[in-house]
Structure 1
Amino acid sequence: MATRVVVRRTGGPEVMETESFEPTRPGPGEVLLRQRAVGLNFIDCYFRTGLYPTPLPFTPGFEGCGIIEAVGEGVDLKVGQRVAYGTGPIGAYTDMRVMPAAPLVPVPDAIPDEVACAMMLKGMTARYLLRRTFRVEAGQTILIHAAAGGVGLIVCQWAKHLGATVIGTVSTDEKAELAKAHGCDHPIVYSREDFVARVKELTDGKGVDVVYDSVGKDTFLKSLDCLKRLGMMVTFGQSSGKVEPFDTGLLAQKGSLFLTRPTLFSYVAERQDLLETAKDLTDVVASGAVKIQVEQKYPLADAAAAHRDLEARKTTGATVLIP
């Protein structure tokens, strides 16, 4: 028997329950995966609360790493091969799962299971943000909100590796130190500093080339004020709530700004794009240019506690669930 987390009604962390089940055999294009680690991400909370609707009941989670136990017809992966995924399909909070082979990528031996798991969704998100949505180059200046979070720490390191100046917002002095240790040149503690004024001060009034904002409602309009003329606003999450409707003429008034709302799933919809994205990520991690910090580990059965800590901003870096 295997164990999984199930959500039968949307709501708080308490709606997640564990149950035993018998895995099926993989069909064509599928594998049976024994998972060694499962990733925790804010998108899991969005589905749990119903912010992102999905049919009930469901098992949360989009990210994992494990060993292939069996393969169906037409699968070019092998039994015993170690693989990871970061784009679902939904259903990762389990110790065994049958899933499509298409999202799976091989994991180099140099990268441990927990790191491989923790880096996939966040790391591939950082890759599309920095290399495709807005291609960061040496000499540019970026602003990343939640700089001490899972995506934030990767973005700080990768952007610094690319030669950019990195400004980041954090909630505490401890998180400021963590972000600074991971490549953030100028951490701003937003609980006591006006981050717009500080960004203007750091950029001699010019503003930054790009803002990466996963916070949403609480930071969106102020983030626009941090951009230079023709700068780009990238809103890729909404941990504080949805961005409220606004007059797009505001973008013109603030300097003909660009605005985009990308998702990782669009950037890796084709297998070749997925493989290229994953290779770029594994290369920078294996080289040591980007270090993945797994700061918290919870038993899979304690997924509710992990969600509570994540939503209360008690976590830093990456968090994994251990089946």
Structure 2
Amino acid sequence: MRVLVTGSAGFIGFHLCRRLLAEGHAVTGLDGFSDYYDVGLKRARHAELAHEACFEAVEGRLEAPGLLRDLLARTKPEIVIHLAAQAGVRYSLENPQAYADANLIGSFNLLEAVRAHPVRHLLLASTSSAYGGNTALPFRETDRAVSPLTFYAATKLAMEAMAHSYSHLYGIPTTAFRFFTVYGPWGRPDMALFLFTRKILSGEAIEVFGDGTPERDFTYVDDLVEAMRRLVDVPPPRPGQGEPAGPEDTLSACAPYRLVNIGGGRPVRLDAMIDALEQALGCRAERILKPLPPGDVARTAASTDLLRRLVGTVPETPIAVGIPAFVAWYRAFYGA
């Protein structure tokens, strides 16, 4: 296949590109190399991908007028996987404009490009933060998501709605994913696991929000990529051309569009994650307990019933395996 991946120098985009290239697909990777976190890490990821003959790296921002339309016209992808975004829940409190630019304008530009140059399947990354103030667990795709707690979550919900409208108007087969706390080698430096590892190894205290009791549905990146890769081959049917996969299916009645959770399905308390990290590092952390900041929720848990219905059972790597794999990568990459 010819595949365009936006955000290819990002954590998830890098792993997905590597998987697609290993299968022999031709991959065009677009990334804007924003300085939200270490640009050197992003360039190191792209450098790893550059060893593959079937990978083309393109540097540019989603917001740049005409860039995406011209890129699709030139590369003619069959599959577009849109992972590029301004990430981070707490940063959206400091710089909401970055989220409006990348997540709203950038996603609109992509939808316009796909409208002009149709693809077999458009896949979009959303977030478990879209469930917002929902308290019923596990989070199901059929739950109403009308109470985002941060502007980041609001922009992702808006992207889902925009994509549905384009799917309806122009018949674009579209799948939106909601990710749940992804971690693993080559991870993001702003995520808790990365921050804790750096601080513990340097002898600094770590700040533990919510007294360590919040639960997160940690999802190992290889499991996530496996699920995404399988979903590439399951484009939603057009209205009248297929039936829902089951009672939990979110297949739209008026568009070839569906929403799918991708999570580990096994929520873990934050303090249990820190315990596993301490064991992998071989040293203890000094913990400073703090209340949950605005926008954070106490628990996340994904229902993966629809995912399994569509693609079968996917791996669920436990943190006892995933965290040591991350630590091994961190030590190797940073010489720690």
> TM class by shorter-chain length?
0.3 to 0.5
The structure where strand makes up a greater share of residues is: 1
TM-score normalised according to structure 1 size: 0.36
TM-score normalised according to structure 2 size: 0.34
The structure where helix makes up a greater share of residues is: 2
